Amino acid sequence: MSSRDFMLKGINLRGLLIMDAGTGAANTTFWLAKKLKEADGGKIISIDSNPETFPEAKRKLGKLAELVEFIEADLTCMPQIESESIDLIVCHATICAVNNRPLRAIKALSEFYRTLKKGGWLIIDDEYPLPKALKPEEEVQVKRWQTYKSIAELVDGEHYTEIYPEELEFAAKLVGFKDIEVQKFEGESLSEEVMSEWKEEMQEMVNKIDDEDLKIAFWKLIKKIWKKYKEEGGIFPPYYVMRMRK
Ligand SMILES: C[S@@+](CC[C@H](N)C(=O)[O-])C[C@H]1O[C@@H](n2cnc3c(N)ncnc32)[C@H](O)[C@@H]1O
Residue with the nearest Cα to atom 2 of ligand 1? Answer: 24
Residue with the nearest Cα to atom 25 of ligand 1? Answer: 50
Give the integer Cα–Cα distance in Å for 121 and 166. Answer: 19
Tell me how crowded residue 144 is: count the other CB atoms within 10 A of its CB. 23
pLDDT of residue 41: 83
pLDDT of residue 52: 96
Q: What is the pTM of this model?
A: 0.95
| Contact between 234 and 190 (Cβ < 8 Å) | yes
Ligand 1 neighbour 80 (Cβ under 6 A): no
pLDDT of residue 158: 87
pLDDT tens for the 246 residues of the chain, in order: 999 999 999 999 999 999 999 999 999 999 999 999 999 889 999 999 999 999 999 999 999 999 999 999 999 999 999 999 999 999 999 999 999 988 999 999 999 999 999 999 999 999 999 999 999 999 999 999 999 999 999 998 889 999 999 999 999 999 999 999 999 999 999 999 999 999 999 999 999 999 999 999 999 999 999 999 999 999 999 999 999 999
Fold observed for domain 3-245: Rossmann fold (3.40.50)
Q: What is the distance in A from the centroid of ligand 1 to the CA of 211?
A: 30
pLDDT of residue 157: 80
Domain ranges of the chain: 3-245
Ligand 1 neighbour 67 (Cβ under 6 A): no
Residue type, 115: T
Give the integer Cα–Cα distance in Å for 28 and 41. Answer: 17
Q: What is the distance in A from the centroid of ligand 1 to the CA of 47?
A: 8
Q: What is the distance in A from the centroid of ligand 1 to the CA of 237?
A: 19
| Cα 177 to chain centroid, rounded | 20
Give the integer Cα–Cα distance in Å for 81 and 47. Answer: 10
| Contact between 224 and 218 (Cβ < 8 Å) | no
Nearest-10 crossing angle of helices 139-155, 192-206: 30
Q: What is the distance in A from the centroid of ligand 1 to the CA of 23?
A: 6
Ligand 1 neighbour 76 (Cβ under 6 A): yes
End-to-end alpha carbon distance in the chain: 24
What totals of helices (H) and strands (E) does the chain contain, helices first?
9, 7
Ligand 1 neighbour 22 (Cβ under 6 A): yes
| Contact between 146 and 196 (Cβ < 8 Å) | no
Q: Using the Cα atoms of residue 62, residue 67, residue 73 and residue 76 in order, give the sign of their dihedral.
A: negative
Tell which atom from ligand 1 comes closest to the C-alpha of 75. Answer: 20
